[in-house]
């Protein structure tokens, strides 16, 4: 049974299924299901922000919200931190106020590829790289300590962790590397839960489905923000590769044209790598792009949630 709608959202019950799905995509919610299911999902989520309320923290007078977005990996874990200022929080049209500021944007190797010193005459097989909980638990703690407890200029208030898949391209088999990254992902959530439970860090943690991020930026629901690819839906076995290429191009446009995010410090150097051609550009652009579009999707979902509440059914006119 759908919850009783508040007066400001009663109009949702009059919408068609396609309209409800468009609103779900615009706010980062699952877009599958019947009309009653979609309506209930929207009613349950639209009145609650998924940005940690800074007034609940004990971090002094700083009212800036900070979103740490992590794109999972072992050799290439990418992350960025977005800052949303008090003017963004107070604005009824946050997209037209202060831009989100990318304070940190980088990637790292959680565990470097091991090197083996074997003599040419030795036939001893190489030892398999260890990837057990005992080995990787310190990696999880070290990573989050550096990104949270030692964060500059301030720790994040919301942390987004890319949700990992269990299978690749619909294969019936599960790759060993996928299991490894999934285990490390679970460790990060466990460490964060411990930090919160012991009041060492205050904030919210969310697992983000990459498919919803891609559907938002590259799907058939053009939000008329000037940042989509014109609503082209990608299908077939090349969908994943095409999606990575499109997100790299998207981030390149953000950096080159401006008006979407502001870059500061070393994040500006990373951004320039997306518009610099040749070997002088940054490596692993797909991972760096993924963490930024994930963080910016979270920002846009919050903006759209506030617009839906403020504009009501008029918001649908923006979707076309």
Mean pLDDT over residues 272-300, rounded?
86
Whole-number pLDDT of residue 188: 96
Q: Give the confidence band of 228 by pLDDT, cuts at 50, 70, 90.
A: very low
| Dihedral (CA of 173, 177, 181, 184) sign | positive
Pairing of strands 77-84, 65-71: antiparallel
Whole-number pLDDT of residue 174: 63
Taking phi first (over 0 means left), then psi (-120 to 50 degrees means alpha), and beta for anything else, what does residue 70 get? Answer: beta
Q: Which of 96-110, 124-138, 218-232, 283-297 has the highest mean pLDDT?
A: 283-297
Q: Are 98 and 87 in contact (CB under 8 A)?
A: yes
Whole-number pLDDT of residue 112: 73
Q: Give the confidence band of 319 by pLDDT, cuts at 50, 70, 90.
A: confident
Whole-number pLDDT of residue 237: 43
Whole-number pLDDT of residue 223: 36
Whole-number pLDDT of residue 1: 45
Whole-number pLDDT of residue 22: 94
Q: Give the confidence band of 180 by pLDDT, cuts at 50, 70, 90.
A: confident
Q: Give the confidence band of 129 by pLDDT, cuts at 50, 70, 90.
A: confident
Which tens digit of pLDDT belongs to each residue from 113-128?
776 555 455 566 566 7
Which tens digit of pLDDT belongs to each residue from 63-97?
789 999 999 998 899 999 999 987 777 666 655 56
Say how many CA atoms lie within 13 Å of 122 toward its Cβ. Answer: 7
Furthest-apart CA atoms within the chain: distance in Å: 79
Radius of gyration of the chain (CA): 21
Tally of CB atoms within 10 A around 194: 13
- Please name the residues in contact with 41: beta carbons below 8 A apart, sequence gap of 6 or more: 24, 29, 30, 33
Q: List Cβ<8 Å contacts ≥24 apart for 279-286.
A: 284/76, 284/78, 284/107, 285/248, 285/251, 286/244, 286/247, 286/248
Per-residue b/e over 54-84, b at no fewer than 16 CB within 10 Å?
A: beebeeeeebbbbbbbbbbbbebbbbbbbbb
Mean pLDDT over residues 10-30, rounded?
93
Element containing residue 68 per DSSP (H, E): strand 65-71
Whole-number pLDDT of residue 320: 64
Whole-number pLDDT of residue 200: 93
For the ranges 137-141, 216-220, 237-241, the lowest mean pLDDT is seen at 237-241
Instruction: Quote the mean pLDDT of the chain.
Output: 81
What distance lies between CA 254 and its chain's CA centroid?
16
Please check the confidence at residue 232 and state whether its pLDDT lies above 60: no
Please check the confidence at residue 165 and state whether its pLDDT lies above 50: yes
Using H for helix, E for strand and C for coil, what is the string for 157-201?
CEEEEECCCCCCCCCCCCCHHHHHHHHHHHHHHHHHHHHHHCCCC
Give the closest residue to 67 by CA, choosing from 303, 318, 306. 303
pLDDT: which is higher, 175 or 234:
175
Pairing of strands 101-108, 158-162: unpaired
Q: Are 87 and 79 in contact (CB under 8 A)?
A: no
Element containing residue 22 per DSSP (H, E): helix 17-26
Taking phi first (over 0 means left), then psi (-120 to 50 degrees means alpha), and beta for anything else, what does residue 117 get? Answer: beta
């Amino acid at each position: 049974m759908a919850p009783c709608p508040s007066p400001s959202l009663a109009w949702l019950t009059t919408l068609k299924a396609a309209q409800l799905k468009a609103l779900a995509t615009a706010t980062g919610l699952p877009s599958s299901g019947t009309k009653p299911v979609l309506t209930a999902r929207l009613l349950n989520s639209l009145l609650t922000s998924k940005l940690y309320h800074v007034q609940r923290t004990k971090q002094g007078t700083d009212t800036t919200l900070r979103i740490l977005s992590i794109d999972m990996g072992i050799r290439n874990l990418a992350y960025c931190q977005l800052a949303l200022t008090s003017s963004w929080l107070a604005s009824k049209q946050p997209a037209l106020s202060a831009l989100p500021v990318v304070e940190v944007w980088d990637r790292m190797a959680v565990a470097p590829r091991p090197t083996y010193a074997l003599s040419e005459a030795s036939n001893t097989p190489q030892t398999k790289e260890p990837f057990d909980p005992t080995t990787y638990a310190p990696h999880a703690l070290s990573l989050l300590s550096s990104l949270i407890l030692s964060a500059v200029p301030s720790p994040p208030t919301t942390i987004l962790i890319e949700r990992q898949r269990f299978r690749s391209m619909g294969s019936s088999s599960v790759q060993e590397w996928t299991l490894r990254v999934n285990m490390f992902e679970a460790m990060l959530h466990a460490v964060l839960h411990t930090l919160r439970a012991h009041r060492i860090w205050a904030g919210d943690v969310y697992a983000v489905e990459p498919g919803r991020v891609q559907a938002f930026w590259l799907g058939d629901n053009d939000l008329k923000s000037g940042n989509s690819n014109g609503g082209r839906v990608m299908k077939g076995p090349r969908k994943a590769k095409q999606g990575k290429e499109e997100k790299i191009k998207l981030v390149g446009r953000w950096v080159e044209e401006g008006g979407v995010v502001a870059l500061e410090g070393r994040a500006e150097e990373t951004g320039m790598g997306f518009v610099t051609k040749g070997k002088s550009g940054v490596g692993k652009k797909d991972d760096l792009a993924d963490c930024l579009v994930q963080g910016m999707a979270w920002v846009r979902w919050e903006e759209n949630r506030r617009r839906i509440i403020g504009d009501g059914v008029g918001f649908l006119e923006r979707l076309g």
